[in-house]
Structure formats: structure tokens, C-alpha cells
Structure 1
Amino acid sequence: MFELLKEQPKDKILALVQTFREDKRPGKIDLGVGVYKDAEGRTPIMRAVKKAEQLWWNAEETKAYVGLAGDPAFSDAMIDLVLGDAVPRDNVAAVATPGGTGAVRQAFELIQMANPNARVFVSDPTWPNHLSILKHLGMEVVLYRYFDSESGSVDFNGMLEDLGGMRPGDVALLHGCCHNPTGANLTMPEWDAVIALLNDKGAVPMIDIAYQGFGEGLEADAAGTRAVVKGCPEVLIAASCSKNFGIYRERTGILMAVHHDAARKALTQANLAHLNRQNYSFPPDHGARLVTLVLGDATLRADWEAELEAVRQGMLDLRTQLASELQRLSGSDRFGFVAQHRGMFSRLGLSPEKVEELRRDHAIYMIGDSRINIAGLNAQTVPILAKAIVEVGA
């Protein structure tokens, strides 16, 4: 039987990670993998998370299953964090998932169950795993324009024109903040225009929000998602705790389904629990428990928010430094958009050939489409990157 299996496409990001590890050159720079790193190149455990682990180690008395949907307290805490008071709690069905990726996968499967003919409109570009999962599930994908490489900004007119092709029951996949891979985000007036278009077309928004707190701040980063929840009758939201709580390996995420008609919540909740049962039965609890403890304790939450804000500000400082250094060395403001982007990523607009030249001649690793992880830099490596970019003639 196994001889009938076919070779699967390699994940380009994971392949780049392996190539980086095998590179023996000193001073190599990894800007590829999408994991936050501090100035020393570490992905630290956040202070509040560490304290919550110590508290839970003393308090935990059983490793029994929690429930198909996960701990209700985790859902309550995350719904409050992401949605605030945008919608009554009784209007939100939710399940804990193995990371944000698990939430995305469950959302796509729920869409498929509800409307097998639904097309999913996806930004061009997007996180590659969006497309990989949709392909695996056999769902129809329609790309919509999103990023203008020349200006480094959102191609909003192109986006609206392409989303204008949606039909009732189609789904528009949107990034809640800190767009991956471009770092270019919608303004609030643009969010309002998208909401109006979705309602006019009878389409359903699905929001992937994986970087809340990394862009403009916790509340500001949730503003677009909250506007969609207020303005659209049905919304799916996949949220991740990997980045803003730094608990990547704990695989902690949540899928929310919002209805303005609260009577539909019970049916949706039952279907979400059914999907969990089919895929992995009970979701992991340890990371979810830590998030619940942090968000539910005033002291821990204040410390978490302070550390998260320091992380956010550090990335903004690196963006400003890189844009300024590129302008100084090149005499051009071509890369000024880097300072305007938000989150861990920016897409520099370099050709694949220039990206390869940076790897080959300067030991600087980035994704082939020139997406860089800003958090892979520090104050000492920013000038090295800027000099190399200018030297390859980018």
C-alpha cells in the first residue's frame, strides 16, 4: 500500500530552516522562520507565563480530560481578549484547538460541512499553510489582490474589485492584524468598506488573528476584528496564543463562531465539538490553562501586557532603524514602507535571484518572496542586512 504514496511538496520555510542549520559560516542571519526572537536570538518564556506555570504546578491535581471544547474559562478569557464587548458572549460558539493552525483547519472543515460549494477568497499573498490546508481539503480557492510590491502597501482597490466576485455563501479569509507575509494592514475605513461589501455579497468573513499585540497594541490590533463582528451577521475567527504568549510548543489556539442570531449558537457549538472529536478528541489543556491564569489574574496580566508591549516596541525600533539605514546607504526612500508595516513580517520586494544572492554571498536567509522576520534582527545585525541589500543592488 505505502508504495502508492506520492511525494508531497516540501514546506519552503522548514526547508530554509534546515539549510540555515547546515550553514557553517559565522555571523549568519536567520530572517526566515516566523518565531519571535529577542536581541540575543532566544525565544524566551514570558515572565507571567513562567509564574503561571509555577502556580499551576502546585494547583493541578489531575490530568483527566477537560472536555471536547476545552476549558470554558479559556474560551471566556480569549473571547474577551479578542472581541471585548463587540458582541454578547451568548452569541459566540468556541472550541480550544491545537494552536492557531488547528483553529484554521477546523474553520475550513466547518465551512465545508455547512456549504460544500463555498469558495474561499484568500489574499495574494498569504500564509502558505492557508493554501496548503485548503488544497488538502479539496476546497476551491480564489485569490484576491492585496499587496502592491512597488509601494509596499495594500492594493485596496484591487482587493475590493476581486472580492466583488464573491457569491452568497462564499468565505473571505482576512488577516486580523500584522498581515503575514507582508506586514501591510487595512485601515479602519478600509475595514468598514470590506464589511459593507461582504454584507452586500452575502459572503462570510473568516479572520485569522495570530499576532494580536504585536502591531499597534492589544486593543488596536483587535479593532478590525471587532468591527467585522459588529457589522456582519456571521463570522469565523481563528486565534493563536503562540506569539503573544510565547507558548509555541504548547499548541494553544481557539476557534470562535459568532452569530448575531444567538439561537444558532447551540447548533454551531455542537458541530465544533463534533469536529474536535473527529480530529483529535480533546484539545491540549496546559497552554490554555496558562493563558487563562495570566488573563484572569490582575498582577500576572499587567506583567504580561508590559512584556508584550516591550516586544512590540522593540520590533518597531528595529523597523525604524532598518528603514533609516537603507535610506542612508542607498540615498533612496524605496524601503520606507518597512517602518510603516506592523508585526513580525515585511515583504521587501526583492527578486528571488537577489534573495538567493543574499544567502549565497552574505549568509542572510529569508523566504524566497523576500519576506523577512523583523524579530530575527537586532541593533547590530540591522546595518549588516542593510549593507548587503544595497550591495546586491536590490
Structure 2
Amino acid sequence: MTVVAVFVGIFAWNALGALGGLFVNLLIAFFLALALEPIVVWLVRHGWRRGGAAAFALIGGLVLVIVVLALFGNLFVQQLVQLVENVPQLYADARTMIADRFGVEVPETDDLLRQATEAWGGDVASGALLVGTTILGGVFAALTILLVTYYLLAAGPRFRASICRWLTPGRQQEVLRLWEITQVKVADFINTRIVLAAIATVATFAFLAILGTPYSLPLAVFTGVVSQFVPTIGTYIGGALPIVVALTSQGVPQGLGVLAFILGYQQVENLWLAPKVSARALEMNAAVSFVVVLGFGAVFGALGAFLALPIAATIQAVANTYVQRHELVQSHMLHDPGEAQEDPGRTGRGASNADRTRAAAREVEERHADGVQ
């Protein structure tokens, strides 16, 4: 039996490792379904069938993403091609300046390309193969996420009912309440991203307009959207397009100016703006929200950084429901001078699970008092 248990444990460990990517895709699909659920419910209330409403919400969001990529992707490619065409001339000018000012001979363009080909030719070929494999894997993962998201949206109450059938009536109420809290937290997270994208768009547009960069408005919209909805490196990806446009249409000083603005705004957003907005939307301390994003990003990568705040907010709501709180002692360390002390009875140890559930769900009840059935 010990030998069998060891082999079963090894098999289970290897299976969990192999299914890690699938679990990540299912997690993404679950959060997408939670984010799109309010749209589906609104359509159902206006006479749509559940399946059609789910398909419309999912396809509508996908079409919106494709339209944004089509509008700004073409501009990005054009500017990138123009930049690549200007690179040899820029290198020649820099070579001449270095030779005249410092007396240093820099290799010519042809010699540099030949050396690069000899040194990195094999790596480029293997890298191209890796990129192709990654693209195919990304397409398959995207199809999996979209399919699971549609099934979750189309099932809706039936899916929740299938889970609740395994629980007692009291547990069913708690699960449904926590489900709704999670949905509200995810919606708050999406609203936070939208607010930050709007602020980034306005700030970027103002700077580009002052600098005189062409296409200021579409560049600002692209930067604002990509910087907030692409995890971790979104700001730098979104800022690449205005930098390229400034380099190709205005010159190196303007391009460096845009680069400095992107880096500076990223620091302001990370250290001050995003924690403030996230704390108000998700009821989380600003320092905690910042550390949570860094921690999830370090452990789970870009996806973890993107989903860190809604997951942490959900965990916080669950903790408020099930973790027992105690009365506060009387101490000057618990309040500022002149500040009214908190009523210790609100978090007393005598509160029941139902009371704590109602306290954690107060925000949901206030927002959906006329919609919760």
C-alpha cells in the first residue's frame, strides 16, 4: 500500500504540473464570465435568451478588442517600418559624430550586420521557431478560454444551481452571497482599469499635444488602453507606439522626451495613482494593494499581476465573512488625537456567521437592492 501510495502521489504531482496551463485558462475564463455577467443579466431582463445574450456579450467584447487592434496596429506597423528604414541613416550619422568628436572608429553597417549574423544567426532561427510554437499555443489557449467563458455565461444560474445542490440551504445562501461579492469585486477591478486608462489617455494626449507629435489622440488612446489591460509591461508596450512616432516624425530629442514621460508617468501611477484608485474601488489599503500586485506578479507572472487585486479583494471579503473578529481594547494607539473611537461592538466576538456575511455583503446589497432576487 505504501508503494502504491507513492506512485499515486507521483502521478498526481505530474498531472497537476501538466494541467497547470489548463487551470490558468479556466481561472481566466471564470473571471471573464464574472466580468461579463452584468451585461448578460441586463440583456436577459430586456427579453434576450440566455444563450444569445452570452454570445452577444462575448462576441461584442472580442469585436471591440479586434477593432482597437486593427485601428492602432496598422499605425504601429507603418511607423515601425519607417523607423527600421531610418535606422541605417541614424547609425551612419552616429558613427560619423563619434569618429569626429572622439576619434573612435565604429564598424560600418555592413560589417556590423555580418558580425551579428555570425554571432546570433543560430539563436535567431531557434527563437523564430519558439515564437511560432508560442503563437500556436496562444491561439489554442484563447479558444479554450472563449469556449469555457461562453459555457459559464450561457449556463449562468443553472451552473450555480448545480453547485448549490451539493450544499445545505444555509451553505447555499453563503455561497451565493460570496459569489455575488466576488462578481462585484471583479466589476470594481474592471472599473478601476477603465478609470486609470482614461487618466493615462488624458495625460498622454496633453503631453503629445504640447510636444507637437502627430496622431496625438489615437496614440494617447492606444497608450491608455494597453497600459491598463496588458499586465505588468502594458505601459511600456503602450508607450512604444508614441515613442516610435516621435522618433520617425520629429527626431531623437522628441522621442527621448516621450520615453522620459512614459517612464515618469509609470512611476507616478504605480506609486501613487493606482494604489489610491484601487483602494477606493476595492476597499483595500493602498500599500497592501501595491504589495499584492508585486507579490502575485513575482509568483504567478503577468497573469498573477493582472488578477492580483480582484483575487485579494475576494479573499478579503471571504475573511470578513468567516474569520472571527474581536472587540478592540481601549488604547491611544488605535486612533489619532481627537478622532472618534470605533464602536467595538461592531466586530464583537458574538457575531454569528450570518451577521458577518451580511456585513461583508453590505456593499452588494446597496448596489443591487432592486436587482437581487
TM range (shorter): under 0.3
TM-score by length of 2: 0.21
Q: Name the structure where helix makes up a greater proportion of residues.
A: 2
- Highest Rg: 1 or 2? 2
Q: Name the structure where strand makes up a greater proportion of residues.
A: 1
The structure showing larger relative contact order (alpha-carbon pairs under 8 Å, at least 6 residues apart) is 1
TM-score by length of 1: 0.20
